[in-house]
Structure 1
Amino acid sequence: MQSAKSRRSMRTVRRGMLAVTAAVLTALVVSAAAPAPEDARQKPRAAEGPVWTGAWGTAVQRPVEGNEDWGPNWSRQGFSDQSVRQVIRVATGGATLRIRLSNAYGTAPLRIAAATVARSAEDAQVWPGTARKLTFGGARGTSIAPGRDLVSDAATLRTSPLEKLTVTLYFADRTGPATFHRFTTATSYRAPGRHLTDAGGDAFTTSTNAWYFLSGVEVSGPASPRRGTVVTFGDSLMDGTGAAPGTDTRFTDKLAERIAADRRPLDVVNAGISGNRILDDSPCYGDRASDRFRRDVIDRPGVRTVIVHLGGNDIAAPEMGDPCMGSAPRVSAHRIINAHKELIRAAHARGIKAVGATILPMKGALFPVYSERGERTRTAVNHWIRTSGAYDGVLDVDRAIANPADPALPRPGYVFPDGVHPNEAGSHAIASAMDLDAL
């Protein structure tokens, strides 16, 4: 029998659910055709000023209570006279950087009294002397209107590929509920009062596995005519369900390591949300992919390629009985494929290459996601991704981790104990299957 700890682990994974499918409805095409914010447009290399690319990023979600599966978070209560220190890992380096903050789901202006960025020295500690004070239009603090994002001014901090940084935000006033990213494999820390430049972590006495208001870190330089960002867009496969906290062993981490080792001028931004669907919103798993595609992919600076992995949760939702999914209608392969097509068109309209990722094997899951009907749908969608030519490239997640004896099952050594999400070996296999030239 399973231990209590094991059962909790299974529930955690079930919430993180699949990560697979891709897409976007006709509403997305209308949205993607609208002008992007000036800082998000890709400018010619000859343009004056720095050219920015996303070296780290996450997809933001509505505030939601923590629970037994996901652990506690501070999104509903927000912050007041508190400092929040968040640890991130950049994919590539640069000479200068800036941060992107989001009040996408706020109902009132978000006031940030001050912010710093520094090199991480593990946990809540930073390397002495590396903290840089961030400004916003020349001011130490800023206010972000509801539903809007904001980028800081450039700060001089030379960074290296795969380096960990900390971003510390101080909130003097009450923020109200926080726009955040619910599930991470990193840790964020909280301290009472103002602790922006503390090298030690003693003041940061509480922690959670979530990110708050922070949605991107962007770098500039060294200059390269080919430099750009790869955004991985999808559900729990991208988000990292199955990776141990603090280990940086998600598929996207392995991909960033391959790119860095090959010295390619490409950054990687992870825009996955565990449980996300291509066709429907859910209370806990984010807006449907079609509605968040512009914010999470198109409006980021320097995006060259998007890898789309969506659809598995749409297929599995009717079997799950998960109230966090909200509506869970049965969906056809035709509907999922049409959503993928719209997403591809939206990417191409902005000159962004689109790579389709096939849906991973679901039969071995130790929670209710598999059905024969769903398997037929998964097979049909995967066949279309591989053979239609609609995508500019294909990442065959399915074949990278499938069991040769029964392709509906994953290789036993490639999955987390939930039977579906990749472990470190599985993530390595998926990243190794990506043709870097296709990016």
Structure 2
Amino acid sequence: MAVVSAVSAVAHEDTRQKQPTAERTGPVWTGAWGTAVQQPVAGSEDWGPNWSRQGFADQSVRQVVRFATGGSALRIRLSNAYGTTPLRITAATVARSAGDAQVWPGTARELTFGGRQSTTIAPGRELVSDAGSLSTSPLEKLTVTLYFADRTGPASFHRFTTATSYRAAGRHLSDVAGDPFKESTNAWYFLTGVEVSGAASPRRGTVVAFGDSLIDGTGATPGADNRFTDKLAERLVAARRPLDVVNAGIGGNRILNDSPCYGDKATDRFPRDVLGRPGVRTVIIHLGANDIGAPQMGDPCMGSAPAVTAGQIIEAHKQLIRAAHAHGVKAVGATILPMKGALFPVYSEQGEKVRTSVNHWIRTSGAYDAVLDVDRALANPVDPALPRPGYVFQDGLHPNEAGFHAIASAMDLDAL
């Protein structure tokens, strides 16, 4: 295992970067992978088990991530956003994935933090590691392994993923075989980003997809990399566009209200999950479906579930657009997916009127810089309030693999 010395220590600071200029020196970073964290919550039958509430102690956690594009150096971003005590990272490594919890021999690199092997993250804060000299290529999978010698307390985490994370007792940072990692879960812990530098194109940047379960990937086959953002990244790579893609969706997320299980409301988490990342050029926003459907759901995980108006949702979208534009970020509005026919109580006639009004505004107001028409990409030609049968997951609402492919195909790459 090679040990990488500190190249640039960046901790507890605003790491946003504008597009590169002739005067800029040093590496230019973009987000090649990312996720949004939420407060610890118990596992469930629908979302699966997770380790967020108990956290970790004398354990190694190996997490698998898939890049959009590559670079000659990388660093990781870690978060203690919802921690109540300091979080000590004893050590961390990155390596090329060889499938499941295995890594390719000779590829493990130890990461440092300000030149040190370990670091501590204060409650409510995040930091990035020093640069590590592991080159990466487009659509490659890597592992990030974190070792916690001390008790972490409850973990800031991402509740639902289509990838698998692994846990082992003791210190197993550079193990090639996956044998010690006997436990697994479909969630990510503390890790919110992997960022790269060293790309040749000066036009390189990051596209962040921001929103709810449609963005997060509910309905996608676990381990198959067929979420909307995966398909979009593949299109960009095939077209030789120098853009990374970060998924900042949270299943169940709303634009107007917080939830104990589905994350802070989107207007509150937008600065951290979108604007706080380096190299962001464009954000794609799909939000409003859960605000519309919450009163019918009767889901205690929603917390407060008031009926909402189209005007309230539109005003919140305008707030996100203004925040993006103030940071030089282009905003792409994604229309709300068809909701009729879902096999759980999310649809109502009044809610459909709200959805139709919001979608009309997204398409015609000119407030967004561009539009991704998710609604029309998925709609049934016979009844546009319903999804096309071949595009819908077994719950009757979320896209399946064909549906995610249709959404990604509907995105005008020039608009990014």
Return the TM-score normalized by structure 1. Answer: 0.91
From 394, 398, 401, the equivalent of 1:421 is: 398
Work out whether residues 20 and 202 of structure 2, in 8 Å CA contact, stay in contact via their aligned partners in 1. Answer: no
Work out whether residues 45 and 51 of structure 1, in 8 Å CA contact, stay in contact via their aligned partners in 2. Answer: no
Are positions 1:285 and 2:262 aligned together?
yes
Q: Which residue of 2 aligns with 1:174?
A: 151
Work out whether residues 14 and 276 of structure 2, in 8 Å CA contact, stay in contact via their aligned partners in 1. Answer: no
Q: Which residue of 1 aligns with 2:279?
A: 302
Are positions 1:369 and 2:346 aligned together?
yes
Work out the CA distance in 2 between the residues paired with 1:296 and 1:402.
29
Per-residue Cα deviation, 1:404-430 (whole angstroms, up to 9, x for no partner)? 010000000001011110000000000
Per-residue Cα deviation, 1:151-192 (whole angstroms, up to 9, x for no partner)? 000001110101000000000000000000000000000000
Q: Which residue of 2 aligns with 1:44?
A: 20
Per-residue Cα deviation, 1:245-279 (whole angstroms, up to 9, x for no partner)? 10001011000000010010000000000000000
Q: Closer, same or farther in 2 for the Cα pair 1:250/1:43, shift >3 Å?
A: closer
Q: Which amino acid counterpart does residue 391 of structure 1 have in structure 2?
A: Y
Root mean square deviation of aligned Cα? 0.9
SS for the counterpart of 1:257 is: helix
From 64, 73, 77, the equivalent of 2:41 is: 64
Per-residue Cα deviation, 1:115-153 (whole angstroms, up to 9, x for no partner)? 000000000000000000000000001000000010000
Question: Please, which runs of 5 or more residues in structure 2 have no aligned partner?
Answer: 1-11
Identity %: 81
Q: Which amino acid counterpart does residue 59 of structure 1 have in structure 2?
A: A
Q: Which residue of 2 aligns with 1:333?
A: 310
Work out whether residues 41 and 299 of structure 1, in 8 Å CA contact, stay in contact via their aligned partners in 2. Answer: no
Are positions 1:144 and 2:128 aligned together?
no
Work out the CA distance in 2 between the residues paired with 1:206 and 1:191.
7
Q: Which residue of 1 aligns with 2:328?
A: 351
Work out the CA distance in 1 between the residues paired with 2:53 and 2:114.
29
Q: Name which of structure 1's ranges 215-224 and 353-362 shifts more when overlaid on structure 2.
A: 215-224
SS for the counterpart of 2:192 is: strand
Alignment of 1:56-205 (within 5 A): 56-205=33-182
Work out the CA distance in 2 between the residues paired with 1:317 and 1:422.
19
Q: Which amino acid counterpart does residue 429 of structure 1 have in structure 2?
A: A
Residue 70 of structure 1 deviates from its aligned partner by 1.1
Work out whether residues 37 and 299 of structure 1, in 8 Å CA contact, stay in contact via their aligned partners in 2. Answer: no
Return the TM-score normalized by structure 2. Answer: 0.96
Q: Which amino acid counterpart does residue 333 of structure 1 have in structure 2?
A: A
Alignment of 1:311-330 (within 5 A): 311-330=288-307
Per-residue Cα deviation, 1:175-228 (whole angstroms, up to 9, x for no partner)? 000000000000000000000000000000000000000000000012322100
Are positions 1:219 and 2:222 aligned together?
no
Work out whether residues 187 and 210 of structure 1, in 8 Å CA contact, stay in contact via their aligned partners in 2. Answer: yes
Are positions 1:388 and 2:343 aligned together?
no
Work out the CA distance in 1 between the residues paired with 2:61 and 2:13.
28
Are positions 1:411 and 2:395 aligned together?
no
Residue 41 of structure 1 deviates from its aligned partner by 3.2
Residue 38 of structure 1 deviates from its aligned partner by 3.9
Q: Which residue of 2 aligns with 1:9?
A: none
SS for the counterpart of 1:156 is: coil
Work out the CA distance in 1 between the residues paired with 2:287 and 2:13.
26
Work out the CA distance in 2 between the residues paired with 1:367 and 1:301.
38
Number of positions where the alignment pairs a residue of Structure 1 with one of Structure 2: 404
Q: Name which of structure 1's ranges 62-71 and 52-61 shifts more when overlaid on structure 2.
A: 62-71
Q: Which amino acid counterpart does residue 91 of structure 1 have in structure 2?
A: A
Work out whether residues 53 and 302 of structure 1, in 8 Å CA contact, stay in contact via their aligned partners in 2. Answer: yes
SS for the counterpart of 1:356 is: strand
Are positions 1:235 and 2:212 aligned together?
yes
SS for the counterpart of 2:134 is: strand
SS for the counterpart of 1:155 is: coil
Q: Which amino acid counterpart does residue 101 of structure 2 have in structure 1?
A: A
Question: Please, which runs of 5 or more residues in structure 1 have no aligned partner?
Answer: 1-35
